[in-house]
A and B are shown apart, each in its own frame.
Chain A
Amino acid sequence: MILSEINFAVLVASLIVASTPLVLAALGELVVEKSGVLNLGVEGMMIIGAVTGFIVGVETGSAYIGMMAAAMAGALLSLLFAFIILIMQANQVASGLALTIFGLGIAALMGHPYTGIKSPQISTLSIPFISEIPVLGTMFFQHDLIVYLSLISVLVIWYFLNRMRAGLILRSVGEDHDVAHSLGYRVVTIRFLAITFGGAMAGVGGGYLSLVRVPQWTEGMTAGAGWIALALVVFSGWRPFRLLIGSYIFGGITILQLNLQAIGVNINIALLSMAPYLATILALVVISMSRFRGNRGAPGCLGRSFVKIT
């Protein structure tokens, strides 16, 4: 069997690396959506993160500084979105699309002189002792800091949303902003913060893409990753752990597809490249067909503008 040419442990390790940008961006979007805002600009924020992270990484020689810059760039772009939808009351779907178009354009402009350069190396942080376990160690414990950070974020966000008062307030704002407002919660401020957080997470996700995953800058390199992150949030039913599993399944399909291309399986490359996108559609269909029918977990006010009329 030709599949035996693929080393399973290495495959899982690279799956985790491939999924990390998705985990980060989708987690950010999950928090944003829980606050009742649908930000379709994830793709735009990711690519801005990717290009900023790459440029700063190359200029400073440090991938971590690059990653921080990526977070800031994503957050900055998301502020624009926040202003337009929260203050100017614009349609969220259209504004998110605008953010993506704008982000892709800005990124192409910024990144042009940096095409074809190699990014600085990111050091892997092998966890002592357990990283030496054969197979399992290679799979899970020989990664860079960002991978561990993404896993910790899943935990933290789950805890925040389900066990903390602040998380409850955020969810109530997303569930019914009028009620939350009359209880005295500051809907606009809370959504501003959530959107900024989502932007930063998408930015880091993008930065990880250009600094670690690829690692290079090419125009339009996110190639729909932001949209897939959006789909993953729906797929997860707005639950952080299911989101992580979803991302890994997804990363698995991508990696398998790339590996099959590399070992020259007799399937057309174009057909293999379609796989992740078709899988997304399939996943969305399955999730809405299953017994978790409908959008259970979808915040009640998702995508609706909040106007304070008193």
Chain B
Amino acid sequence: MFKLIPRENVSPVLSLLGPLFSVGLTMIVGGILFYFLGVDPFAAIKMIFWDPLMSETFSTYSIPQIFIKGAPLILIALGLSVGFKANVWNIGAEGQYIMGAIFGASFALSLYPLESIVIFPAMILIGVIGGCLWSMIPAFLKVKFQVNEILVSLMLVYVAEQILALASLGFLRNPDGAGFPGSRNLNQYTSASNAEIIAGTGIHLGVLLSLLMVIFFYVLLFRHSLGFKIKLLGNSPKASGFSGDNPNKLIFLCLTLSGSLAGLAGIMEVAGPAGQINIDFNVGYGFTAIIVAFLGRLNPIGIFFAGIVMALTYVGGELTQFMLNLPAAAIQVFQGMLLFFLLSFDLFVHYKIKLKGNK
């Protein structure tokens, strides 16, 4: 039998090796899955992980796409990671992402066709507030009534999806849209358009902000006392209480951060790549970001790389869908598997394993 011995210090080498090992293992097991789906595993794996970066035909389009898809993942995951460290489980980022988009877009569209330079920053701010307000519901209920934030934040995703339907079929529907669902395209509204900042690539302000946020969160978590307080609350709520920290304030802080960033991601997406509020606006970034947060080991720098890897599977996944006819859900399976391997690998990070002889 095996015996587990806790490590006194978490092994930094293994901690870094975990994500790499998990990605590798996911490729192998994913390859087997592709084989059973009747797709050449080597071609599929190469197309997901290699071609978007290296192939001459695809990379000019794919590389910027990786950053565009990575930006919301990184933004949301950064916010979530703070909460996860403190044992505050906001898993409803998808809903906060939707609400950020709806709030911001509603504001901008209510002013259409007025042109002014204040509209864009105000729209972003209102988007952030929208996401934040949506995450304040679980925060308030947790602090005030000790209601489980996991369930509340998740239920609110379904509510947000219904509000999204309401918006795209009702109050935000494009009056010139010949009755089709969906709002006006914000890209055709100069003052509200989150236009590309590098011509021809589609790279928008959100990508830049996601990079800035990585730095901001790095400083917050490792160079500021708040980061320490958050970790303390997660690792030892009692010690946190003794040191005089108010857990309720920290819970609010965690949910404010994650909600605001999800809202930011939402408004950036709707005014940029998506262009309009529509029923199928949300594509699951809020859930994938949970995987990104763990893959990045709840560390801002790690989350950056994890976001890029995850975006790669999205872009590569689209490629395989298009070229090899691989179902879209295969990528979801892929991502779920990755998380499994990653979580399992934690065993080796936290424990030493010794073989016990037969007495």
Contact = CB atoms under 8 A, between A and B. Distances in A.
Interface of A: 40, 80, 84, 88-91, 93-95, 97-99, 101-109, 112, 219, 223-224, 227-228, 230-231, 234, 268, 270-271, 273-274, 277-278, 280-281, 284-285, 288-289, 294-295, 307-309
A285 B145 contact: yes
Given A98-B340, A101-B332, A108-B332, A281 B166 contact: no
B158 A97 contact: no
Contact of A284 (B152, B328, B333): B152
Interface string B147-158: 110111011101
Contact of B151 (A109, A234, A307): A234
Interface of B: 4-6, 37, 89, 91, 137, 141, 145-148, 150-152, 154-156, 158-159, 162-163, 165-166, 169-170, 287, 290-291, 294, 327-337, 339-340, 343-344, 346-347, 350-351
Contact of A277 (B158, B165, B334, B350): B158
Nearest to A224: B158
Given A93-B150, A234-B151, A270 B166 contact: yes
Contacts of B344: 84, 88, 90
A258 B227 CA distance: 47
A228 B6 CA distance: 36
A277 B151 CA distance: 10
Contacts of B154: 224, 227
B6 A84 contact: no
A93 B89 contact: yes
Contacts of B351: 89, 307
Given A268-B170, A277-B155, A112 B329 contact: yes
Contact of A270 (B165, B290, B335): B165
Given A101-B287, A108-B327, A89 B346 contact: yes
Contacts of A219: 329
A223 B162 CA distance: 12
- The dominant DSSP class at the B interface is helix
Given A88-B347, A108-B332, A289-B145, A277 B91 contact: no
A95 B158 contact: no
Given A231-B151, A285-B141, A277 B329 contact: no
Contact of A274 (B158, B170, B335): B158
A30 B71 CA distance: 39
Given A227-B155, A274-B159, A97 B91 contact: yes
A9 B339 CA distance: 47
B162 A274 contact: yes
Nearest to A104: B332
6 contacts: A88-B343, A88-B344, A102-B333, A231-B155, A277-B155, A281-B137
Contacts of A103: 336
Contacts of B150: 40, 93
Given A102-B340, A105-B336, A280 B155 contact: yes
A270 B158 CA distance: 10
Nearest to A109: B329
A89 B350 contact: yes
Given A40-B150, A309-B6, A105 B333 contact: yes
A234 to B, nearest CB: 6
Instruction: List 5 A-B pairs, minimum CB-CB distance, nearest first.
Output: A102-B336, A105-B332, A108-B329, A105-B333, A90-B343
A109 B37 contact: yes
- The dominant DSSP class at the A interface is helix
B162 A273 contact: yes
B346 A268 contact: no
A262 B275 CA distance: 34
A97 to B, nearest CB: 6
Given A91-B346, A227-B155, A274-B158, A294 B146 contact: yes
A80 B141 CA distance: 33
A277 B4 contact: no
A109 B327 contact: yes
Contact of B343 (A95, A107, A234): A95
B37 to A, nearest CB: 7
A295 B147 CA distance: 9
Nearest to A272: B162
Contacts of B330: 105, 109
A105 B331 CA distance: 8
A192 to B, nearest CB: 16
B98 to A, nearest CB: 13
Contacts of B170: 268, 270
A280 B151 contact: yes
A281 B329 contact: no
Among A91, A102, A103, A228, max chain B CB count under 10 A is at A102
Among A99, A106, A112, max chain B CB count under 10 A is at A106
B311 to A, nearest CB: 16
Contacts of A271: 162, 166
B159 A94 contact: no
A84 B343 contact: yes
Nearest to B36: A109
Given A102-B337, A288-B146, A308-B4, A277 B156 contact: yes
Contacts of B294: 94
Nearest to A231: B151
A285 B37 CA distance: 45
A79 to B, nearest CB: 12
A127 to B, nearest CB: 36
Contacts of A101: 287, 290-291, 332, 335-336, 339
B145 A288 contact: yes
Among B37, B91, B287, max chain A CB count under 10 A is at B91
